[in-house]
Structure 1
Amino acid sequence: MEWLNTYAFPRETAHLDSDAATKEYTKLCNRLVAHGTTTVLIFGTIYKEACQRLALCLQAQGLRGFVGKVCMDRQSPDGYSEATSDSLADTEAFIKWVQQLHDNKIHAVVTPRFVPTCTPELLQGLGQLAAHFDTPIQSHISESFDEVEYSSALHPDNTGGDTALFDRAGLLRQRAVMAHGTCLTDPELKVLGQRGTALAHCPLSNFFFGDRVLHVRHAMRLGVKIGLGTDVAGGYSPSMLNAMRSCVIASRALCMSHYATASPHSQAPAPPQTEPTPNRQNLTGVATVASAEPGNSFCIPAPESRKEIQAANLLDWKGAFWLATVGGAQALGLEKTCGTLEVGKAFDALRVDTRHAAAFDVFPADTPMDIFQKFVNLGDDRNIKAVWVGGKLVHHKAS
């Protein structure tokens, strides 16, 4: 809650001034499209008018936007909270207002902020609204140790964590997207998979706030749909390219954490050393690294253990790109509309300049795949020269 109280809540409170909100949202939309974002799932504020301005800014930019009027009726700052009835009424009014835009690229999203700021009555009412209007849903779920502890303290009789509370309210369903989920248990992940609920994996944000790395491949094996996100202000980059790179790094960090508990070559104790420099002892067999200094002994997992861990958890740049495109489309129920370049789908695309690439170099021997991976791993907004959404050019800059 410290980050929310210091940064998010004051910024959102300022959007009571709709004109100020419009200026900031316009900058946000310009920034997102410049980084190649074509579709955005976004939390607005508790203010209906500000969320309408956000929807209009996305529409003016030509982006595909899923906008949520944030709902919170408890554990919120003075002056930035709602009565339950007002939150439900404004959510319904916002949904109807978006429908009247008659724009198939702009969607209203039922948005309880997260369990700590929403009473069971509010959650129940939002679940009913989502069912009645058949709208997407978004929230945060089991995102950190302190959030899990906070939710548990507010609901001491609840078993099953945030998942059970959302499920009882009817908020876990197709086109429901829950952010983070780094602290979800296997039984909870299975529930999400059964309900068709997706997770928004925001690895950069998780490194700062999540306390754990999301087990992406494990969650997918349990049937959970996963799309990649930036979390915008929760991380330090609005770029999906950086989100892809963070995704790969997070999977490698996850492998490292598993190495600590993997089967070692040998459990032989570290022999005492008089020299301060660590000395490797018979790495082909024992694989123990030892030093006289406390804490300088560790075991190297057996090669077969390392291979099993990597096969179960590791994501490469291709997997991260899939999460950023197909995974995101599946999470939002758009897999028949976008996510891949296929005949019959909307033309969502970027024109990438690799000839005058400030971020990386291209050599004559490079294959198209070499150049593509250089863009994913090294490119940035300087390489993105044009963006199309639904066949419409929404961003262009001179080469």
Structure 2
Amino acid sequence: MATSQRTVFFGRFVSTPTPDAYLIQHGAILVDRNDGHGVIAKCVWDDSLDAEQLDKVCARLGVEVEDIRLVKCNENGFFFPGFIDTHIHASQYPNSGIFGKSTLLDWLTTYTFPLEASLKADPEVVATNGNTVNGTNREDVEQVVKKQKTDPLARARLVYDKVISRTLSYGTTTASYFATLDVEATNLLADLAFMKGQRAYIGRVCMDHPETCPEYYRDEGPDETVQKAVANIEYCQQVDPSGELVAPIVTPRFAPSLHFESLCRLGKLAQERDLRVQTHISENVGEVAWVKELFPECESYTAVYEKSGLLGSKTILAHGIHLDDTELDMIRSRGSKISHCPSSNSALGSGFCQVRRLLEKGIDVGLGTDVSGGYSCSTLDAVRQACLVSRQLGYVKGGDKKWNIGVAEGLWLGTVGGASCVGMAGKLGGFEKGMIFDVQEIELGVAGSQNSGPVDIFGWEKLEDRVDKWVWNGDDRNVSRVWVGGRLVHERK
């Protein structure tokens, strides 16, 4: 009798194990979920394999036909590793595409802090601040308040449920999430991610500096900051004791938002409990100058994190646009990673991240959507923007093509690079024995057919050209199914 614990995936598999080119293979993969992890047990690559001769396929894989379930890829599509979003603010999803003419610091005050505060398990926060978020009118605010009398987390539930579903629909199988200051709302994000089956790192945002944070949205001081961080960490570990699907990540918002004592205590917490860390660094010129004023005893922005113990091999630093060579050497020596967020950098006018320089320095780089500084939670869109921004940078650098990020390299950043950033190198991002099966099925349209989607295939394109067309023109309509750890977590209807 067939069982869902062992599945054979058959068809074309595309990946980017190196940044230079696509690896396109045809064959079958056996995924074994008996251990609950959905690991690739065996791969057989052979262009002559035919799914109609399932007995021969199973014989090559060493299993019986009766013991497996078959999943065939659409003939006009392919399997591709799930995307890894190394920097996204789950709480800011309702503000996607809303940033006006802002730059970073005024955008935080005008749009971000009020929205995040409104997700707190307290109806009064919505009533006081919701009116100024996205132009929300009083009637809508009152409706939310009414719902929150029976469910204080109604607003947060709506936002987090939607952002997880939306990112999964875009093929994002792993996300490193910033939540909010509120412990209960952040815990809810962990619950929903685990229930929906997305691999997620959940961070309760830490902010406590009275001179840099709004009065309505900050902790009282270092003691409360650490206490609430621990509460969220321990809750996440209860949700998923293995830490393989959902895990906590220590999340100081950025250096200016915290007392130096708080930064040091969070660094110690991360070290003692061997936890991931995520924060921002050198996103904006004004921000860099601000950090210098706030921490005159530190020679650089990076040194603030180094001296507070937050710079380590499990640290993801978002942006990293305005770093000097000394800082890059420090980041590399500590094994810290950088999340490149091209859409956000362009939207907020923050500058060009020199990805090639980072890679040449030996620093691991992944992609982040940085919603809502970034307008879209699609990592595929981040791949596009990484390519486009690199060309603009090349122009600024005198037309030097060395700065260019090609399409294959962009996809590599969104998968293999991301895996390195979140501490899953060699486990995610490819199709090799022993890797976890976090995968999206891409389906491309046939020109002239109904409901062909945004990518038209005429039939004469090379396979590499079809992948290119998907990168430049594709969206969630091309994502047919998504698996995390071999479990189906999204299917396009």
Query: How would you bin the TM-score normalised by the shorter chain?
Result: 0.7 to 0.9
The within-5 A match list for 1:76-87 is 76-82=213-219, 83-87=221-225
SS at match of 1:247: helix
The within-5 A match list for 1:88-99 is 88-99=226-237
**Is the CA contact (8 Å cut-off) linking 1:145 and 1:210 kept in structure 2?**
no
1:43 lines up with 2:134 in the alignment: no
The within-5 A match list for 1:21-32 is 21-32=156-167
Tell me the amino acid that sits aligned with residue 202 of structure 1: C
**Is the CA contact (8 Å cut-off) linking 2:295 and 2:304 kept in structure 1?**
no
The within-5 A match list for 1:258-269 is 258-259=397-398
Which residue of 240, 250, 262 maps to 2:379?
A: 240
1:328 lines up with 2:418 in the alignment: yes
State the Cα deviation string for residues 104-124 of structure 1 (Å, max 9, x = none): 210100011001111110000
Alignment match, 1:346:
436
Tell me the amino acid that sits aligned with residue 384 of structure 2: R
SS at match of 1:248: helix
Counterparts of 2:492 and 2:418, CA distance in 1: 26
Tell me the amino acid that sits aligned with residue 85 of structure 1: D
Which residue of 337, 344, 367 maps to 2:427?
A: 337
State the Cα deviation string for residues 156-199 of structure 1 (Å, max 9, x = none): 2321x210010011111112000001011111011111101000
Counterparts of 2:486 and 2:311, CA distance in 1: 32
State the Cα deviation string for residues 218-272 of structure 1 (Å, max 9, x = none): 111112110011102111111111101100011101111111xxxxxxxxxxxxx
1:318 lines up with 2:412 in the alignment: no
Counterparts of 1:211 and 1:143, CA distance in 2: 6
Alignment match, 1:72:
207
State the Cα deviation string for residues 131-162 of structure 1 (Å, max 9, x = none): 11111000000110111111111122321x21
SS at match of 1:174: coil
**Is the CA contact (8 Å cut-off) linking 2:169 and 2:492 kept in structure 1?**
no
State the Cα deviation string for residues 6-26 of structure 1 (Å, max 9, x = none): 111111101112232111100
**Is the CA contact (8 Å cut-off) linking 1:91 and 1:110 kept in structure 2?**
yes
Counterparts of 1:158 and 1:196, CA distance in 2: 20
**Is the CA contact (8 Å cut-off) linking 1:44 and 1:54 kept in structure 2?**
yes
SS at match of 2:445: coil
- Taking only aligned residues, the RMSD between alpha carbons, in angstroms, comes to 1.2
Counterparts of 2:426 and 2:232, CA distance in 1: 26
Specify which structure has the bigger relative contact order, considering alpha-carbon pairs within 8 angstroms and separated by 6 or more residues.
2
**Deviation of the 1:35 alpha carbon:** 1.0
1:134 lines up with 2:224 in the alignment: no
Q: Which moved more, 1:347-356 or 1:114-123?
A: 347-356
**Deviation of the 1:336 alpha carbon:** 2.5
**Deviation of the 1:210 alpha carbon:** 5.1
SS at match of 1:16: coil
Residues 148, 210 of structure 1: alpha-carbon distance in 2 compared, 3 angstrom cutoff: farther
Question: Runs of at least 4 residues of structure 1 off by over 2 A?
Answer: 208-211
Which residue of 250, 260, 264 maps to 1:110?
A: 250
Which residue of 372, 385, 388 maps to 2:483?
A: 388
SS at match of 1:90: helix
**Is the CA contact (8 Å cut-off) linking 1:182 and 1:210 kept in structure 2?**
no
Alignment match, 2:196:
61
Tell me the amino acid that sits aligned with residue 427 of structure 2: T
**Is the CA contact (8 Å cut-off) linking 2:190 and 2:202 kept in structure 1?**
yes
Tell me the amino acid that sits aligned with residue 197 of structure 2: G
Counterparts of 1:221 and 1:332, CA distance in 2: 20
Tell me the amino acid that sits aligned with residue 376 of structure 1: V
**Deviation of the 1:211 alpha carbon:** 2.7
Alignment match, 1:278:
none
Alignment match, 1:204:
343
Counterparts of 1:149 and 1:95, CA distance in 2: 32
Residues 328, 72 of structure 1: alpha-carbon distance in 2 compared, 3 angstrom cutoff: same
Question: Which of the pair is proportionally richer in strand?
Answer: 2
Alignment match, 2:110:
6
SS at match of 1:109: strand
Counterparts of 2:195 and 2:373, CA distance in 1: 25
Counterparts of 2:405 and 2:426, CA distance in 1: 25
**Structure 2 alignment gaps of length 5 or more:** 1-104, 122-152, 447-451
The within-5 A match list for 1:266-281 is none
Normalised by the length of structure 2, the TM-score is 0.69
Alignment match, 1:379:
474
Alignment match, 2:58:
none
Alignment match, 1:220:
359
Alignment match, 1:273:
none
**Deviation of the 1:30 alpha carbon:** 1.1
Which residue of 229, 239, 251 maps to 2:390?
A: 251
SS at match of 2:248: strand
SS at match of 1:233: coil
Counterparts of 2:304 and 2:320, CA distance in 1: 14
1:167 lines up with 2:167 in the alignment: no
**Deviation of the 1:209 alpha carbon:** 2.6
Counterparts of 1:211 and 1:70, CA distance in 2: 22
Tell me the amino acid that sits aligned with residue 64 of structure 1: R
Counterparts of 1:93 and 1:238, CA distance in 2: 28
**Is the CA contact (8 Å cut-off) linking 1:143 and 1:210 kept in structure 2?**
no
Counterparts of 2:348 and 2:327, CA distance in 1: 20
Tell me the amino acid that sits aligned with residue 310 of structure 1: K
**Is the CA contact (8 Å cut-off) linking 1:248 and 1:316 kept in structure 2?**
yes
**Is the CA contact (8 Å cut-off) linking 2:440 and 2:483 kept in structure 1?**
yes
